[in-house]
Structure 1
């Protein structure tokens, strides 16, 4: 018995969800959109989000991965978050670059991300999401940004659905306060 198989058997015996399985690279493409939305919420801009998703896939595909559950998306979201946190730690150790000649985009349309007002609203929202406590931020991103169901978010964040509901409610209420909006109405749709 090889060491990888021995480890897999040991890990599988501790987990009630069945034996571990190898992550199937062919199924990873099914999750690109959700990973991109989560990355966009974390990074705040399209280019960094694309790079983060690419780095996540590169990290996952670098070597075979054994999963204890049949939850590829949850695993990918955890890798995405950890990759993002590693980038933040790395960036904190480097000096910030200075923009000498900012590029201007004349003639933008309303709602265009290059529109200064739209960009300001988006950056305020992303800053407010970033200011949330970690558990609330993760719930808001998983449900409101990525579009996961409560059950999917609970599996991805390894928490109970009731816990996710509470974190989401508190996160939305705090976001409303940070953005100067009225408290969200009970039962209001956020999608």
Structure 2
């Protein structure tokens, strides 16, 4: 058992911001959500009963999101644009097409059913284990496995569009880099065999290094 160190929050702000963006589907709402989450956490000393800081912050982030869900539902949904996703940087991404794929992933995550979106955010965006994600979301580990599988499948199906003439089929960023998800699974969607790739690690931080 230990007290959460307020000074450690800055270490998690980028990952929480990406998680908030994926939950909200709006950059502005994501910033508000992270700010409100930190306000809640800093309002009083927080005791961690053997919990990882990121796991605990995920729980607070989700609870804060659910609390403000009714208000957020009345706001128009703004899907991330390419300019929003890719922060101007002197060292741009090596492949411009990967930036487009990141944009597509953000937009697709925002359209997922809430249960699927939360599972994917917990595991693929924040990097929690299945067990940690299950505890944070108050469900069984098997439920996380099922929701994550279906969330990734829906993303793969929505991204499996017919390529424009002269353009190669779109690959998910980790797939292009030769990465695999935790399950190492492959799925067949829209008549095309695709790697069921994790989105973890492909969504850029607020500020590029």
Q: Shorter-chain TM-score: what band?
A: 0.5 to 0.7
CA contact (8 A) 2:109 2:117 kept: yes
Matched, 1:157 2:137: yes
Contact 1:140–1:171 (CA<8 Å) still a contact in 2?
yes
- Which ranges of structure 1 fall in alignment gaps of 5 or more residues? 1-20, 97-108
| TM-score (normalised: structure 2) | 0.56
1:49 aligns with 2:30: yes
Bigger RCO (CA 8 Å, 6+ sep) = 2
Structure 2 segments unaligned to the other structure (5+ residues): 78-90, 162-170, 172-184, 188-194, 201-209
Is the Cα contact below 8 Å between 2:4 and 2:47 reproduced in 1?
no
Aligned counterpart for 2:112 among listed residues 127, 132, 144: 132
Which residue does 2:127 correspond to in 1?
147
Q: Deviations over 1:63-106 (max 9, x none)?
A: 34456x4224333212212323444422444689xxxxxxxxxx
Aligned-pair RMSD on alpha carbons? 4.2
The 2-side partners of 1:155 and 1:95 are apart by 31
Hey, which of these two has a bigger chunk of helix by percent?
A: 1
1:149-169: CA deviation from partner (whole Å, max 9, x where unpaired) = 223322322333332222111
Q: What is the rounded CA distance, in whole Å, between the counterparts of 1:28 and 1:110 in structure 2?
A: 29
Equivalent pairs, count: 160
Asked whether the equivalents of residues 44 and 123 of structure 1 are also in contact (C-alpha less than 8 Å), the reply is no
Q: Which of 120, 130, 146 is the equivalent residue of 1:166?
A: 146
Matches for 1:71-82 after TM superposition, within 5 Å: 71=51, 72-82=53-63
Matches within 5 A, 1:32-71: 32-44=13-25, 48-65=29-46, 69-71=49-51
Instruction: Tell me which structure has the larger Cα radius of gyration.
Output: 1
Whole-Å separation in 1 of the counterparts to 2:196 and 2:142: 18
